[in-house]
Amino acid sequence: MKRWMGRGTWYRPVTGMLAGTAAAVLTVGGCGASGDGSGHARLPAQRARPTGAPGSTAGSARTAAAWHRWGLTPLPDAPWPPADKPVKLTATGTVPVLTHVPTTQKVVFITIDDGQEKDPAFIEMMRDLNIPITMFLMNDAIKSDYAYFTSLQALGNHIQNHTLHHPVMSSAPLAHQKDEVCGDQKILTEEYGTAPLLFRPPYGAYDENTRTAVGECGPRAIVWWRESMQIRDMQYQDADNKLRAGDIILAHFRGPGELKGTTMTRMFGHLLRRIQEQGFAVARLEDYIQPPGRRQRAARSSSTALRAPFGP
């Protein structure tokens, strides 16, 4: 099956073998000071349930009015994230690949890539809805206005690594891959004050060199996805077209030019409706991940979710 990779080109899925499993696929949509010695700031505790805690967000008339402003009704309350994080990262060793979060809570996670579109209305929407997102930012896309993403970061959202120039990583030599990851890591750390903990390869394509480059440049996990948001609907990895607890959803900072006239806020509204239709809340991805601790010396698998996409 051929897949859309953007920029007017179709590609067949590209795979590489990592420990006997498929490790790189081009799919639709894919395009500070440390407190623990790891080089990453500790992730702050979640200040409020992102899609509504009784008496503070979704249960209040004020929240309902804010959602109605965007033609939406509030999502279900998000539960408090577990104290014992289901994903535990290590300071050394080969970086794992996270395709979903192992949890029984009925939550999903929204991640938004690249950064081309910088719609001020989207910041207003995020302030009104208090929905958590994780941003995987690519320097070529954001360098015209770094401050735009500072506003989203100030709402409690985390900024993660997505390379300097958005190459197909699995087709690049190790030195080039390191330039891409380390370069973006340096700029994002300088601009936003925190070293990214996570990395997403453009188009989802990666190989063993990618994992080496990521590990040497600072991030401690590669993040994939289970669903990708298009304009009105999601594309699913699973044939039954259903969300599952802990799924990671991919979207992009895109505007009318790439969304056939649809705005970023309208696309995001469609995404929230699709999530709501299946009865899920939206949680913050980083609230379910334990960063490396200074006592960790060896890499170990943290869950069955830390594997190559579609692997056994």
Q: Please report the pLDDT score of residue 40 as a whole number.
A: 55
DSSP-H helix ranges across the chain: 61-69, 120-129, 139-142, 146-153, 174-192, 208-217, 264-277
Here the tokens at position 32 are 């500070």
Evaluate whether residue 13 is within a structural domain.
no
Here the tokens at position 211 are 């994992």
Evaluate whether residue 159 is within a structural domain.
yes
pTM of the model: 0.80
Query: Are 247 and 227 in contact, with CB atoms under 8 Å apart?
Result: yes
CA 231 to chain centre: 18
What torsion, rounded to 10 degrees, do the Cα atoms 178, 179, 184, 187 define? 130
- Each residue's pLDDT tens digit, 111-148: 999 999 999 999 999 999 999 999 999 999 999 999 99
What percentage of residues in the chain have a pLDDT greater than 70? 75
Q: How far apart are CA 107 and CA 285, in angstroms?
A: 10
Taking 60 as the threshold, does the pLDDT of residue 164 lie above it?
yes
Evaluate whether residue 277 is within a structural domain.
yes
Helix (H) or strand (E) holding 213: helix 208-217
Helix axes 174-192, 208-217, angle to 10 degrees: 30
Here the tokens at position 149 are 């993403």
- Mean of all residue pLDDT scores within the chain: 83
Mean pLDDT across 48-71: 68
Evaluate whether residue 48 is within a structural domain.
yes
| 20 or 76, which is more confident | 76
| Structural domain for 240, as ranges | 32-290
Evaluate whether residue 27 is within a structural domain.
no
Number of H helices, E strands in the chain: 7, 16
CATH code for the domain in which residue 258 is found: 3.20.20.370
